[in-house]
Amino acid sequence: MRSRTIENGSLPNHHRYVRPKTLKPGNTYTLLSIPWLPSKPPPTMPRKGKNYTERMTGPRGECELCHRTQPLTEHHLIPRAVHGKKFFQKRFTKEEMTHRRISICRKCHKGIHRLIPDEKTLAREYNTKELLLAEERVAKHVAWVARQK
C-alpha cells in the first residue's frame, strides 16, 4: 500500500474508484494498488468507419457497375469465405473462384454487401456481373450511385 497527499481535492484518472466527495485537500489517504488498473490509457485501436474505408481503396479507374471514375476495390463474385465449402468446390475450380472478380467503387461494393449480406447467397445466385445487375435492388442502388459525384 502507498500513501498520497491529495492536492486540489482529486486524484489522477486511474484512481477513479475513490469518490471525489470524500477527498479533502491536505489529508493523506492510503490507496490500494490494483494491478489491473492501467497506469496509462490503452493506445487507440484502429477503428472501422469512414476513414478506415477510405484508406482501403485501390487505384483510380472506372467502376464496372456505375461507370464513375473512382478509387476501385476488388469484389470477389464468389466470396473468399465460401472457397473451402464442398458445395462450391464441386461447382467451381480453385482458379475460377479466385479469379472471378470485378473492379468496382467503394459505394457499389458497400451497397452489394448491405443488400445481400449472406456470402453463400452471393456465391450461389450472384456469381457473375450480369446476375448481380439483374437483381432489382442492386440495379437500383447502382443507378443511384451513378448519379452521385
Give residue for cell 482501403: 56
pLDDT at 88 over 70: yes
Residue range 143-147: mean pLDDT, rounded: 95
What one-character-per-residue DSSP string does 134-148 give? HSHHHHHHHHHHHT-
Contact 69, 60 (CB under 8 A): yes
Give residue for cell 475460377: 96
99-121: pLDDT as tens digits = 999 999 999 999 999 999 999 99
6-65: pLDDT as tens digits = 555 555 555 544 455 565 666 655 555 445 445 555 555 555 555 555 555 578 899 999
Separation of first and last alpha carbons in the chain = 62
pTM score over 0.85: no
